[in-house]
Structure 1
Amino acid sequence: MKGRPVAKIGRFKSDKARAAYMSAYDDMAALSPIPYTGRDAETCFGTTHVHTFGSGSGTPLVLLHPLGGNGLCWYPVIEELCRDRVVYAPDTIGTAGRSVQTAPITEQAQFGVWLDEVLAGLGADRAHVLGFSDGGWHAAMAGFHQPKRLASLTVIEPGGVIVKLRWSALFQIMRFAIMPSKKNMTRMNEWVMPGVPISEVEMRAAKASLGYQRHLPWGTVFEDTDLQSITIPSLWIFGGESEIVYPAEAAGQRVRAHVPQAEVEVYPGLGHGLFFANADRVVPRVQDFLRRHDR
């Protein structure tokens, strides 16, 4: 009789792969416009490394990074976000970075458990959480399953979980992933994140991240009942010309119809990368929302 498959954990493929990634990761520190500190939070899934920025009396904010990113990727917006509050930027467990996964995550709900334990490890009884792209649905998982510490939820461009990812978009992503040359990765960034240039060190980190074996569940389209279960204040932001969340208006309408305390913004003419490419418009909207729900 065959036994049940053994659940796997994320890890670098080799010491060489880890060294290559960490070299680029350490160089990314120079991109931050402000100083920060690093610390670890222990969870039942492993050790999570967290970057801490800023200070102030506002309720702390946790940032959950997109696919291929890490806790240092927020440098274009971090100075504004932490003007009146502490901002925590973890390396998501099970992804390339300084976090070390020791137990598998096999269910989407476990992302909520993970984040709750990170907040407990940081001593944060209350926090806002903001997730972008892949981090958006990680944040939503916390809103569904572990909202007790959350003051609010901000979800920006969560691909494939409000409306289905188009086959044409999936094909494009697969086409670039099959041959991850510098040219193809640059083209993919231009397609997915228009208006967001990728620096040389970020390119190095992106290429080196391919040396990490990820074993995490992927996002699936939320059921109406999932959305209805988000009862904390939430802000949902979409780009009207996004290649990842399409059609954006349909996504916004679905959130409005089913999430009880949702505020929804669809920005016409802006793409998936609007949080960075159009920070002058989007970040003030986020800050206003956070301040109204500080407690």
Structure 2
Amino acid sequence: MTRTSVGHFVSEASRAKFLEAYDRAMELWPSPREELDVETAYGTVHVHRYGAAAGEPVVLLHGHAGHPSNWYPQVAALGEHHPVYAVDTLDDPGRSVQRVVAEGSEENAAWLGEVLSGLGLERVHLVGVSYGGWLALNQAIHHPERVASVTALDPGGIEKVPARFYAHMVGGLFGMLAPRRYRPALGRLLANPALSAPPEMIAPLMLAMRSYKPGSRPPARPFTDEELASIALPVLVLVGRRSALLRPRQVVERVTGLVPGVRAEIVERAGHGLNLERPELVNERLLAFAAGR
């Protein structure tokens, strides 16, 4: 699919209401937190920073239609030893403002590379979940020069997006209509951590569904064997045993067969949002991997 448009809110009033909820969601992060804007050829990219003044930076990339508050269970643990940057990705509802379409893999690697350059980051540990995992792997393939390692959490790009993933999303939306006291049980049943997430985190997602018109971004395309085999960086892939996006065993087999030196693990008792479902395990793996252990 060729992209022809960028995402936008249906009105300035809708955008203002969304951003009010977005700012409340970001209060889930520890303080103090800094906010930065980086100009790129594709638009203005908003970034949140927290954590240590020194150390190798960790850069976080949220999933499709998400926002940086989704990383709230990771930020304090990572920030103790690393500067932590969370990117408001282009073509998702947030404080970034896209002005030019990023049509494909090269263009998406280009804007993210410009963000890393604009932040003055020379060697980063790139961490992404879902579509953010696709962006992280894509960066390792097309513009790896500022990347020290990649951690991909239940990432796009390993398999074609299956129909059950869209059914899972619809089920989660219906789950949001259930009384709040029933949502955690539904979340466990559906392996959907959003149903038991803090309401502050969910509010901007729900508002964006009603008032944000995404651009014509296609689903994360599967990388070719040659692309995955070209990655010359340390890579960690964590896949939820109950993932709605991926077939865990097949994904582990594919990446271990193609990506040189990759570490791959199936995370038990977790679905697609494993950073929310198993935060202690994910934090432990992220810190150990960034430390080279």
Q: TM-score of the superposition, structure 2-length normalised?
A: 0.89
Q: 1:182 aligns with which of 177, 181, 191?
A: 177
Q: Which amino acid aligns with 1:278?
A: R
- Segments of structure 2 that go 5 or more residues without pairing to the other structure are none
CA contact (8 A) 2:59 2:125 kept: yes
CA contact (8 A) 1:176 1:184 kept: no
Q: Name the structure 1 match of 2:58.
A: 61
- Summarize the alignment of residues 207-286 of structure 1 with structure 2, pairs less than 5 Å apart: 207-210=206-209, 211-215=211-215, 216-246=217-247, 248-286=248-286
Q: 1:250 to 1:197 in 2, by over 3 A?
A: same
CA contact (8 A) 2:134 2:155 kept: yes
Q: Name the structure 2 match of 1:173.
A: 169
What is the rounded CA distance, in whole Å, between the counterparts of 1:184 and 1:254 in structure 2? 41
Q: Does the alignment pair 1:149 with 2:149?
A: no
List per-residue Cα deviations over 1:63-86 (Å, max 9, x = no partner).
000122112221111100111110
**Runs of 4+ with deviation above 3 angstroms:** 174-177, 179-190
CA contact (8 A) 1:189 1:198 kept: no
Q: 1:290 to 1:6 in 2, by over 3 A?
A: closer
Q: What is the percentage of aligned positions where both structures have the same residue?
A: 32
What is the rounded CA distance, in whole Å, between the counterparts of 2:136 and 2:108 in structure 1? 8
Single out whichever of 275-284 and 132-141 deviates more from structure 2: 275-284
CA contact (8 A) 1:255 1:262 kept: yes
List per-residue Cα deviations over 1:190-242 (Å, max 9, x = no partner).
52534872222222211111212221332022211111111111111111222
Q: Which amino acid aligns with 2:287?
A: Q
Deviation of the 1:268 alpha carbon: 3.1
Q: 1:196 to 1:277 in 2, by over 3 A?
A: farther
Deviation of the 1:89 alpha carbon: 0.5
- Segments of structure 1 that go 5 or more residues without pairing to the other structure are none
- Report the number of matched residues: 286
Single out whichever of 161-170 and 182-191 deviates more from structure 2: 182-191
RMSD, aligned α-carbons? 2.4
What is the rounded CA distance, in whole Å, between the counterparts of 1:169 and 1:47 in structure 2? 30
Q: 1:168 to 1:74 in 2, by over 3 A?
A: closer
What is the rounded CA distance, in whole Å, between the counterparts of 2:282 and 2:122 in structure 1? 27
Q: 1:104 aligns with which of 82, 101, 104?
A: 101
Q: 2:29 aligns with which of 21, 28, 32?
A: 32
More helix by share: 2
What is the rounded CA distance, in whole Å, between the counterparts of 2:179 and 2:108 in structure 1? 31
What is the rounded CA distance, in whole Å, between the counterparts of 1:34 and 1:217 in structure 2? 36
Name the SS for the 1:236 alignment partner.
strand
What is the rounded CA distance, in whole Å, between the counterparts of 1:165 and 1:99 in structure 2? 26
Name the SS for the 1:202 alignment partner.
helix
Deviation of the 1:60 alpha carbon: 0.5
Q: Does the alignment pair 1:162 with 2:158?
A: yes
Q: 1:270 to 1:204 in 2, by over 3 A?
A: closer
Q: TM-score of the superposition, structure 1-length normalised?
A: 0.89
What is the rounded CA distance, in whole Å, between the counterparts of 1:88 and 1:6 in structure 2? 28
